[in-house]
Amino acid sequence: MNMSFWKKLEAVDVRLIFLVIWIAVGIPLLTPLYLPLSISPDTVKYQAAIDALPADVVVVFGMDVSPAGYGGELGPQARATATHLFRKPVKLIFLTFWETGAPLIEDVWKNKFVVDAMKDKKYGVDYVNLGWIPGTETGMASFATDVWKTLEKGDYKGTKLADLPMMAKVKTISDIYMLVCIETGTPGGPEYLRQWQARNPQMKMLVGSLGVSVPANIAYVAAGQYISILRGGRGATEYQRLLGIMTTADVMGSDAMTMSHVIVLVFLIVGNLGYFATRKAKPAKT
């Protein structure tokens, strides 16, 4: 190795590093590169679980999300999941135990891929929106034991459950085949486990998780309580890719993200190579 090259590298002007970032992050923002995106096994399992849904089973979509979470990582997750679920011949119940989640359900329905997937679905027959159910964990318990009594107020617009044909066969938690929960925090997955899965051990669970909560949530997957999770913004992108619903802007954002991480790692590696290459020349310092 040419020593002087490494020495120069060790003393490189920090501004060169900054310039490299401008360029490396800028390129994917100007033209999409379609960089390889690893699909983590969890996302594959998540998709497969929805793909494997038998016809006419009842699936609950828990939109337990805050606006901040929705604006960040969870919005794309919710939209992709709803698109996929609407493509399947299943009965869908949208609900939330977060007061802030209720308007977000309707926002999901406005997404163009979701609109596309739900155009042949009929409200009340194929899907319902039960809106916000108050009482957090107590509300969950109450829903699990008696859906109709908990929802005497009706659905999100006040329509009585009796007027929603698909609700006729949904009386307790035993009638739910699967729960998909997009969660910001408490109440979320662990509360559903205690109140719902404990009462109906057959009920399958999928969870859309914030990036920061992934390490905590993975424990539930390992224990077999969740089938799988979506890992933050990255999981959302992977899922969109699998479903083929990525827009160019999505691709650019994800490429820029990949590039920025690659660059930081390259700096880390090059910095250390330079350090070790030049260190031999100098007397060892302790």
Partner 1 sequence: MSFYKRKEIPILLTTFIALVMIFSTFFKVKAAQDFASTMQTWVLVIVNFTVILGIVMITRMHKGRIEKRKPGDNSWIFSVWLIVLVVFYFLLGVYGVESSRSATPTRNPAFAWVYTNINVALDSAMYSMLAFFISSAAFRAFKARTKEAAVLLLSAAVIMLYNAPAGSVIFGPLAEQFNALSEWILNVPNMAGFRGILIGAAVGAISLGIRVMTGRERGYLGAGE
Partner 2 sequence: MLGIYAYALFALAAYSFTYRDNVFFKLAEHTYLAVAIGYTAAVGYGYIRFTAVEPIITGKNMLWIIPLVVGFLFVFFFSKKYFWLYRFPIAMITGSGMGLAMSGTISAQFLAQITATIGLPLVVVHPKLGFQAMDTLNNWLIIIMVIGTLAYFFFSLGPETGLGKATSKAGLIGRWTMMIAFGSAFGNTVMTRMNLFIGVYKNLLRDYTSFIGLAVLILVVATLQGRREKKPE
Token code pair at residue 113: 């891929």
**Helix (H) or strand (E) run with residue 140 in it:** helix 136-145
Tell me whether residue 6 or residue 220 sits nearer to partner 2 (CB atom): 220
Give min distance, CB of 259 to partner 2, in A.
Answer: 9
Q: Are 85 and 92 in contact (CB under 8 A)?
A: yes
Q: Which of 168, 203, 175, 174 is nearest to 189 (CA)?
A: 203
Q: Least distance (Å) from partner 1 to the CB of residue 170?
A: 36
Residues 182-221 that bind partner 1 (CB under 8 A): 211, 214-216, 218-219
Total length of the chain: 286
Looking at residue 237, its amino acid is T
| Region 189-228 residues binding partner 2, contact defined as CB under 8 A | 211, 219, 223-224
Least distance (Å) between residue 194 CB and partner 1:
21
Annotate each residue in 29-48 with x if it binds partner 2 (CB under 8 A) or - if it does not, as one string. xx------------------
Contact flag: residue 284 with partner 2 (CB under 8 A): no
| Residue 127, beta-bridge partner list | 92, 123
Residue 223 interacts with which of partner 2, partner 1, none, CB < 5 to 8 Å by class: partner 2
**What is the dihedral sign for C-alpha 252, 255, 261, 264?**
negative
Provide, rounded to whole angstroms, the least separation between the CB of residue 235 and partner 1. Answer: 10
**Residue 112 touching partner 2 (CB under 8 A):** no
User: Of 22 and 120, which has the nearer Cβ to partner 2?
Assistant: 22
3-state secondary structure of 217: helix
Q: Write the DSSP symbol of residue 123.
A: B
Residue 179 Cβ, how far from partner 2 at the closest point, in Å?
Answer: 18
Site for partner 1 (CB under 8 A): how many residues?
A: 38
Least gap, CB of 102 to partner 2 (angstroms): 27
Q: Which of 52, 115, 198, 268 binds partner 1 (CB under 8 A)?
A: 268
Q: How far is the CB of 260 from partner 1 (least distance, A)?
A: 7
Helix pair 232-243, 248-279: axis angle to 10 deg: 130
Q: Which option in partner 2, partner 1, none does residue 4 bind, with CB closer than 5 to 8 A by kind?
A: none
Of residues 21 and 277, the one with the C-beta less far from partner 2:
21
| Residue 40 binding: pick among partner 2, partner 1, none (C-beta 5-8 Å cut-off by kind) | partner 1
29 binds, among partner 2, partner 1, none (CB under 5 to 8 A by kind): partner 2
DSSP string, 146-189: -HHHHTTT-STT---GGG-GGGGG--SGGG--EEEEEESSSSSH
Q: Is the peptide bond before 283 cis (omega within 30 degrees of 0)?
A: no
- Specify burial of residue 78 (Cβ count, 10 A radius: 0-12, 13-18, 19+): buried
Tokens of 87: 């493509």
Q: HSE of 132 in the Cβ direction (CA atoms, 13 Å)?
A: 13
Kindly tell me the sign of the dihedral angle through the C-alpha atoms of 115, 116, 122, 125.
Answer: negative
Task: Name the site residues for partner 1 (rule: CB under 8 A).
Answer: 12, 14, 17-18, 20-21, 25, 35-38, 40-41, 211, 214-216, 218-219, 234, 237-238, 254, 257-258, 260-265, 267-268, 270-272, 275-276
